[in-house]
Amino acid sequence: MRNEITNVKLSFKCPVNYDAMANTTGGKFCDHCQKTVYDFTDAKAGVFRQILAENNGNVCGRFTPAQMNSRQVKPFWKKWLSAAMVLIGINLWGEQKAFAQHTGKPSKPSTTKKGAQPLSFADTITLSDAGTTNCADKGLWVGVCEIQPEFPGGIKAWQSFLKNHLSTIKGFKGRVIAEFMVAKDGSLNNIKILRGFNEPANNEVLRVLKLSPNWKPATVDGEPIEVRYTVPINFK
C-alpha cells in the first residue's frame, strides 16, 4: 500500500555531497551542520512519521525523485497531517525550511541569494507501508546497493544500549561525536573521538562503545564490507 504524506515542505538546497558523508544510524552524518541526514529512500511511511516525531519535526532526509510530488508551494508554514507539526530546519542561508537531497533535477527554480543553488519544493512524499526492496527504483546508485551497518535490534536497541550504559557527567550537557570502523564481522575497531567536550565525557563515550556487541555489517552486492561510521552521542 502506498501512502502519501501531505502538507510537508521540503527544499532541496543542501550543497553537501550525501555520498561523502560518514555513515551513521539511519543514514549519514553531515559534519557541516552536525546532524543526521536520514535515508528515506527505502523507508516505510510509519518510520518516516516516527523519525519526524522523535526529532520535533526537524529532520534532514534523502528521497528518490519518484517519491516527490513536486510543485511550487506558498511561502508559509503548513501543518503536517493532524498533529500540527512543521518540518523546520535552519539552512546555510538562515532560511527556515526542511532539508532533503535527491539526485534528480530540481523541478522548479526559485529566486535565491547570490551563490546559492536553485530551490525545488515537494509537498507530498510517497512511502510504502511495507518499504521497498527494489534497489533499481532508487535511482541513487549505479550498479551498487549499499546496506548500512546496524546495531543489533535497530535504532531503538541502540538508544536503549546507550541509556543503560552511558553514565552522566556532572556539569556536562552536550554532544560528543565518535567514529569507528565496523569490520566485516561486525566488530568495532579504531574507536576515536572526532569532536569532544572534556576528558571525562570523551572517555565515557570510548568506554561505552568498547562494550558494544558486534553490529550487523554493511554489505555491497550481498557481501560484507568494512566501513567507517560516525555517531553523535548526547549527554543530557
**Cβ proximity of 191 and 180 under 8 Å:** yes
Quick one: DSSP state of residue 45? H
**Cβ proximity of 45 and 126 under 8 Å:** no
Q: Residue-wise over 200-230: b if at least 16 C-beta within 10 A, else e?
A: ebbebbbebbeebeebbbbbeeeebeebebb
Place of cell 535497530: 154
Q: Which domains does the chain have, with CATH numbers?
A: 2-143 (no CATH), 155-235 (3.30.2420)
Measured distance CA(125)–CA(59) in Å, rounded: 14
Element (H, E) at 33: none
**What is the predicted pLDDT for the residue at 219?**
76
Query: Cell numbers of 120, please?
Result: 525545488
Query: Cell numbers of 166, please?
Result: 552511558
CB atoms under 10 Å from CB of 199, counted, come to 10
Residue 6 forms beta bridges with which residues?
Answer: 124
In a 3-state reduction of DSSP, which class is residue 79?
coil
**What is the predicted pLDDT for the residue at 127?**
44
**What is the predicted pLDDT for the residue at 213?**
96
CB atoms under 10 Å from CB of 139, counted, come to 14
Q: Kindly calculate the radius of gyration of the chain based on its CA atoms and give it in whole angstroms.
A: 19
**What is the predicted pLDDT for the residue at 67?**
63
**What is the predicted pLDDT for the residue at 118?**
33
Place of cell 525550511: 97
**Cβ proximity of 46 and 40 under 8 Å:** no
CB atoms under 10 Å from CB of 168, counted, come to 11
Q: What is the pLDDT of residues 152-176, one digit of tens each?
A: 998 889 989 998 998 887 777 888 8
- Ranges of the chain whose pLDDT falls below 50: 6-7, 70-145
Sheet holding 218-220, edge to edge: 146-147, 218-220, 223-225
Element (H, E) at 12: none
Q: What is the pLDDT of residues 5-39, one digit of tens each?
A: 544 556 555 677 778 888 887 788 887 777 788 88
CB atoms under 10 Å from CB of 28, counted, come to 23
Measured distance CA(232)–CA(203) in Å, rounded: 14
In a 3-state reduction of DSSP, which class is residue 89?
strand
**What is the predicted pLDDT for the residue at 62?**
77
Residue 30 forms beta bridges with which residues?
Answer: 35
